[in-house]
Amino acid sequence: MSSAMVCAGSMPRGPARLVSGARDAAPGVRLELPAAPGAVPGRRHRSRALPAPGSRAQSRAGSADSAAGNGREAGEEERTNLAGVRHILLVLSGKGGVGKSTLSTELALALRSAGKRVGILDVDLCGPSIPRMLRVQDSAVHQCDSGWVPVFVGQDKAIALMSIGFLLERPDDAVVWRGPKKNALIKQFVTDVAWGELDFLIVDTPPGTSDEHISTVEALRPYQLLGAILVTTPQECTNIFSKGGGEELAKHAGVPFLGCVPLDPQLSQSLEEGRDFIQEFPKSSAFPALTHIAQQIVDTSQRSS
């Protein structure tokens, strides 16, 4: 898996109340959602339930998974829902507030503008901002025979999105869960979402380095990841108007530097209002930077195919 780096300006986030819980979510218990319109009532989908962390059922499942039969079954389930995804791209950041979810959203819009079918898996469980950025925060997630149906964005439905933001009772609620519960939901997101045919699946991870990142990478290990993008700001400490820090870090890490996205009020405004920045602000200073980064991702995917 290759890595690359983007230097981005920090984007503001609105306040959120410290409230625990998502719909029908209990520790180690599988989330069950309403059936999608047209789904056959009572018909089971192919993915399996996750046992409670630390339970005897989990121990038995762990032992059984080492056997060839259950190992094949789990692999078949995962391949079923990700079989149509050509390239998977992780988006990471060393800390919060640097524009990671902003970049994930704008990359998806830029790739869609280039004629690509894109999915976004938002595993930033404690700060699921992408539904609002794409103006689908009031949408609902349903179940079908193959698992969860993602929310489709826009009239062309060229962007599919799955986020815990769709499972919260209120959009301002924050998820306060221990690690095992978060990890169980991430695994369920990876195995249970029916993505269909996608050119790119962008995985927006939480800020920092934590259990969630390990769980995400482990769950995606059977698949050929296109790479990872690290989003950072240019300063070493506090001056966001510094320059060159991201490029220096890329040189130090020995990874490609994809570009620098300048601070732009139009970009911030479009995200707050759920507008398509790529379509509506082609004269913005951030537009060429974002489209250039997206084109480099397309070029990399073509070389890897």
pLDDT band, residue 298 (cuts 50/70/90)? very high
- The fraction of the chain above a pLDDT of 70, given in percent, is 72
pLDDT the model gives residue 31? 54
Please give the Cα distance from 100 to 102 (Å, whole number). 5
pTM to 2 decimal places: 0.73
The predicted structure's pLDDT at residue 290: 93
Q: Using CA atoms, how far apart are residues 109 and 158, in angstroms rounded to an integer?
A: 9
Q: What is the pLDDT of residue 6?
A: 59
Give the separation between CA 183 and CA 194, rounded to whole angstroms.
19
- Are 99 and 11 spatial neighbours (Cβ–Cβ below 8 Å)? yes
Convert 239-253 to b/e letters by CB count within 10 Å (16 or more is b): eeeeeebbeebbeee
Compute the distance between CA of residue 24 and CA of residue 14 in angstroms, rounded to an integer. 26
pLDDT beyond 80 at 148: yes
Token digits for 9?
């300006």
CA dist list (Å): 124 to 120, 154, 203, 214, 226: 11, 22, 9, 13, 20
Question: Which of the four pLDDT bands, split at 50, 70 and 90, describes residue 233?
Answer: confident
Q: What is the pLDDT of residues 27-44, one digit of tens each?
A: 444 555 545 444 433 333
pLDDT per residue as tens digits for the range 190-220: 889 999 999 999 999 888 887 788 888 888 8
Name which of 14-28, 69-83, 280-294 the model is least confident about.
14-28
- Show the tokens assigned to 78: 């995962």
For 237, the token pair is 């400490």
Q: What Å distances lie between residue 170 and 59, 109, 152, CA to CA?
A: 35, 26, 20
pLDDT tens for residues 67-113? 334 443 444 444 578 888 999 999 988 878 888 899 999 999 999 99
